[in-house]
Chain A
Amino acid sequence: MSLRMLLSILRRHSLMPTLVLLQVALACAILCNVLFLVQQQLAPMLAPSGIAGNELILIDQLASRQKPWSAAEVRRGEQVLRQVPGVRDASAAFGLPMVAGLVDMSLQGGNGVKLGVNGYLGAGLVKTLGLDLVAGRDFLPDEYRDFGMGGDGNSKWDPGAQQPIIITQALADQLFDGGQALGKVMSDPGDADGHGYRVVGIVRHLLRNQLRLASDGRADNTVLLARRIGSTSMLSFAVRVDPAMKDSVREGVAAAIQREFGDTIKAGLVARVSFYNERRAQAFKSERAALWLFAGVTLAVVIVTVVGIMGLTGFWVQKRTRQIGIRRALGARRADILRYFLVENALIVMAGVIVGMLFALLGNGLLMRHYELPQLPWIYLPFGAALMLVLGQFAVLGPALRAARVPPVVATRSV
């Protein structure tokens, strides 16, 4: 049967095909947007942290009661933590992932691109966090400058000279042509008289603090600054431990913190001591719940659409039983009838997909305007289209097979 005939039949009986088309269009629009939302939610969860998560204990919620802790007290805290059995390394730090408090800054690279990044501050973080240094070197001990929060005058951000910086591979690729960042200088566009940063090392991965921004290739927008925590009224620590002694070492660390800072911590506060991986699971709890919801919606939309197409096509096949019988009597094979219904469905679904893409872009436009969502990438459209085609063919298979089984003798009866 020629395509022209098929189209003319569709035109003559346009109500049923229009309804199928509308169903497909709506389902396609919703599925494209839901898949996109899922991807947005998944990206931060799937981004590699670069951190040895089950070997890292994080300590925060430490605020001083009266006066800030001095740099010497912070150093002693690190020292005491290192002496706990099972501890391999300890650093006082700011801005770490899964820890309250963040350092954000803007950097301009050799190719003029400007990016917002999170900075991590603290001495020896490459070793403590267990980062994978792919090029260059760690900071040298004499490169660190003191920096504190709410402390005394030595906590100035800009020391008046070029500072060494360690960046991630992803940042090197974005900020420098060909990713050749080592030894190059970056500037801070927000700081007019800044002296810039010289890249001394590159680490493979390091997850940023702002998890909400950790999608669309921004998960690794993180730098390490050559700062040692000085006089400060807010403290947090990163402690690298022996994973074999997980449970005992946590208690040891908590006891050491209580001994060292228990008397000077703000009344009513209790320091939080927990593994990076536990905090990560906690931080993504809400996202995981949302993912289940999206999965449920996707499944429900798919089921409802398939059922709708099946019901409608089934009725249409029944209505045309006589015509099918006539065609069979005139020499059409079962395969011809089957193919006819499959092709017909494919045509309708394709038209529906085109309308659905328009709906999807329209819906995405609305979401973008009101909810700060990024543009729906084009790649989702053919993907959604393919999914709908498969679903359509699957839904029509049953009715089409039933149609193919109609015997030619039906043509001679009045139904």
Chain B
Amino acid sequence: MFGYYVDMALRSLKRSPVLTALMVLAIGLGIGASMTMITVLHVMTSDPLPGRSAMLFTPHLDPLPLDHKHRDDGPDPTDNLTWPDAMALLSAHRAKLQAAMAGGSLLLRPARADLRPFTVSGRYGTAELFALFGIPFEHGQGWSSGDDASRARVIVLGKTLDRKLFGSASGIGQTVRLGDSDFRVIGVTADWRPQPMFYADLSAQSFGDTDQFFLPLSAAVDLKLQINGNQSSWSKNDSGEPMTDAEMTWLQFWVQLDSAAQVQAYHQFLMDYSAQQKVLGRFQRPATEAKLYSLMGWLEHKNLVPTDVRLQLWLALGFLVVCIVNIVALLLAKFLRRSGEISVRRALGARRRDIFLQLGIESATVGVAGGVLGLLIAELGLWSVRRRPDDYAQFAQMDMSMLLGTLALAVVASVLAGLLPAWRACRVQPALQLKTL
């Protein structure tokens, strides 16, 4: 019976091609617009580091003085840590793995004569950074904590930058001139690009290019290298050494904690540390201000989805509702026009249930066609989103779950839209209609 109804639906839809085309177009447009925005949202809120993200946490302290007034439109200074705090957490070594880091963009002067100097962005970090995030190496390895202590001028290159500078042979042992200093290449990582860049200063940069180099944070501080993120200082007097100043936050800090007990213990450690700093007079705010965010919790806290995207999502969903109401109207017109046909079937013994099923299948057929069109429109929409200048835009891609979701949404929407018209058509009085035939 199902196959027969599908056949009937196709015949019926073919009989009025214009109306069918209009319905498919309406549902296609609605689904396409909604799925474009849902996909953008899906990409922006997805897990940047599947598998590891549950073990990664970021501690946050509040070293601000009590009278510090935070401006609403400015970045929050407590998003990052000061140098002394980061170093204290690092040397306490209470987590399995921990690393402090900051982003930077530096002018690279290649040794090759055919390359002009260019700016590359990368990360300054401490030794456990690679193990913490599970950054895979192609050649060589990261630096040791001894290198951190001795402020060694060593560097780990990303694969893309390594290829650009040294061709197919890896550049291990070679030197790279960044800013005004030479660094010895000790490792090459595979391209590693979690999106959003959860470990960066999210107020400054959240989506974008992968890090092209990693070098020891201590060397960066030593050389006073440029920093990409926010540097929030509340210092009254200029110490002349802003990077190591106790009143400027600029460092990101991540730890790996494997169990709930460890998370609990680390949070307690943070509060104890804050309380101790308060006793010492450095901190003024209560120790309960110390927070420990999980990776996904931190992304949620930072709310990376721009207002514009949310607005556009609501707009697209509103548009989908308009389309669904439109299809209700068109299906109603279509079904009621066939009152005569339905009456004949009823008179020949078909139950209301059968009529309902037949019309439902016809709506679902429209939905499948609309879903396919919606997929094409969503791909077109995503292509236009990728051409937007915003930094998240280039990652707007549809994956398998979104693809199936699109089709499912289209069928559900069209079947819902078909409910009222089908119910109405079922209630046609066969006798009345047959008389007029």
The residues of A with any CB-CB pair to B shorter than 8 Å are: 15-16, 19-20, 22-23, 26-27, 29-30, 33-34, 37, 65, 67, 150, 210, 266-270, 282, 285-286, 289-290, 292-294, 297, 300-301, 304-305, 307-308, 311-312, 314-316, 318-319, 363, 367, 370-372, 414-415
Known contacts A15-B424, A22-B325; is-contact A267 B106 (Cβ 8 Å): yes
Q: Mark B382-406, 1 if CB is under 8 A from A, else 0.
A: 0010011110000000000000000
Asked whether A269 lies within 8 Å of B390 as measured between CB atoms, the reply is no
Asked whether A301 lies within 8 Å of B424 as measured between CB atoms, the reply is no
Chain B residues whose C-beta falls within 8 Å of the C-beta of A370 in the assembled complex:
310
Residue B315 interfacial (CB < 8 Å): yes
Chain B residues whose C-beta falls within 8 Å of the C-beta of A367 in the assembled complex:
311, 314
Tell me how far the C-beta of B394 lies from the nearest C-beta in chain A, rounded to whole angstroms: 13
Residue B410 interfacial (CB < 8 Å): no
Asked whether B326 lies within 8 Å of A307 as measured between CB atoms, the reply is yes
Question: For the complex, what is the distance from the CA of A292 to the CA of B388, rounded to whole Å?
Answer: 11
Asked whether B226 lies within 8 Å of A269 as measured between CB atoms, the reply is yes
Question: For the complex, what is the distance from the CA of A380 to the CA of B26, rounded to whole Å?
Answer: 26
Residue B33 interfacial (CB < 8 Å): yes
Asked whether A289 lies within 8 Å of B226 as measured between CB atoms, the reply is no
Q: Which of A20, A305, A363, A414 has the most CB of B within 10 A?
A: A305
Asked whether A23 lies within 8 Å of B318 as measured between CB atoms, the reply is no
Tell me how far the C-beta of A371 lies from the nearest C-beta in chain B, rounded to whole angstroms: 5
Chain A residues whose C-beta falls within 8 Å of the C-beta of B333 in the assembled complex:
311-312, 314-316
Chain A residues whose C-beta falls within 8 Å of the C-beta of B104 in the assembled complex:
268
Chain A residues whose C-beta falls within 8 Å of the C-beta of B26 in the assembled complex:
304, 307-308
Chain B residues whose C-beta falls within 8 Å of the C-beta of A266 in the assembled complex:
226
Question: Which residue of B is nearest A267, CB measured?
Answer: B179
Residue B114 interfacial (CB < 8 Å): no
Question: Of A26, A150, A269, A372, which is within 8 A of B238 by CB?
Answer: A150
Q: What are 23 residue pairs bridging A and B, where the CB atoms are less than 8 Å apart in the complex?
A: A22-B325, A23-B325, A23-B326, A26-B318, A29-B318, A267-B180, A268-B107, A268-B119, A268-B179, A297-B319, A300-B29, A304-B323, A307-B26, A308-B325, A311-B329, A312-B333, A314-B333, A315-B337, A319-B336, A363-B318, A371-B307, A371-B310, A372-B307
Asked whether A23 lies within 8 Å of B315 as measured between CB atoms, the reply is no
Residue B322 interfacial (CB < 8 Å): yes
A-facing residues in B333-370 (Cβ within 8 Å): 333, 336-337
Q: Which of B107, B178, B322 has the most CB of A within 10 A?
A: B322
Tell me how far the C-beta of A368 lies from the nearest C-beta in chain B, rounded to whole angstroms: 12
Asked whether B322 lies within 8 Å of A30 as measured between CB atoms, the reply is yes
Asked whether A308 lies within 8 Å of B326 as measured between CB atoms, the reply is yes
Question: Which residue of A is nearest B328, CB measured?
Answer: A19
Tell me how far the C-beta of B300 lies from the nearest C-beta in chain A, rounded to whole angstroms: 16
Asked whether B330 lies within 8 Å of A308 as measured between CB atoms, the reply is yes
Known contacts A26-B322, A37-B311, A267-B179; is-contact A289 B389 (Cβ 8 Å): yes
The residues of B with any CB-CB pair to A shorter than 8 Å are: 19, 22, 26, 29-30, 33, 73, 104-107, 119, 178-180, 223-226, 238, 240, 307-308, 310-312, 314-316, 318-319, 321-323, 325-326, 328-330, 332-333, 336-337, 384, 387-390, 424, 436
Question: For the complex, what is the distance from the CA of A23 to the CA of B225, rounded to whole Å?
Answer: 60
Chain A residues whose C-beta falls within 8 Å of the C-beta of B388 in the assembled complex:
286, 289
Asked whether A270 lies within 8 Å of B329 as measured between CB atoms, the reply is no
Asked whether B226 lies within 8 Å of A267 as measured between CB atoms, the reply is yes
Tell me how far the C-beta of A28 lies from the nearest C-beta in chain B, rounded to whole angstroms: 10
Question: For the complex, what is the distance from the CA of A27 to the CA of B322, rounded to whole Å?
Answer: 7
Question: For the complex, what is the distance from the CA of A267 to the CA of B109, rounded to whole Å?
Answer: 12
Chain A residues whose C-beta falls within 8 Å of the C-beta of B224 in the assembled complex:
65, 267
Chain A residues whose C-beta falls within 8 Å of the C-beta of B73 in the assembled complex:
210
Q: Which of B178, B319, B330, B384 has the most CB of A within 10 A?
A: B319
Asked whether A23 lies within 8 Å of B107 as measured between CB atoms, the reply is no
Chain B residues whose C-beta falls within 8 Å of the C-beta of A27 in the assembled complex:
322
Asked whether A270 lies within 8 Å of B119 as measured between CB atoms, the reply is yes
Tell me how far the C-beta of A348 lies from the nearest C-beta in chain B, rounded to whole angstroms: 12
Question: Of B107, B180, B332, which is within 8 A of A15 by CB?
Answer: B332
Question: For the complex, what is the distance from the CA of A15 to the CA of B332, rounded to whole Å?
Answer: 10
Known contacts A23-B326, A311-B330; is-contact A304 B389 (Cβ 8 Å): no
Question: For the complex, what is the distance from the CA of A267 to the CA of B329, rounded to whole Å?
Answer: 66
Asked whether A312 lies within 8 Å of B179 as measured between CB atoms, the reply is no
Question: For the complex, what is the distance from the CA of A301 to the CA of B323, rounded to whole Å?
Answer: 8
Known contacts A297-B315, A312-B332, A318-B337; is-contact A307 B389 (Cβ 8 Å): no
Question: For the complex, what is the distance from the CA of A266 to the CA of B325, rounded to whole Å?
Answer: 60
Asked whether B321 lies within 8 Å of A26 as measured between CB atoms, the reply is yes
Question: For the complex, what is the distance from the CA of A23 to the CA of B26, rounded to whole Å?
Answer: 13
Asked whether A304 lies within 8 Å of B326 as measured between CB atoms, the reply is yes
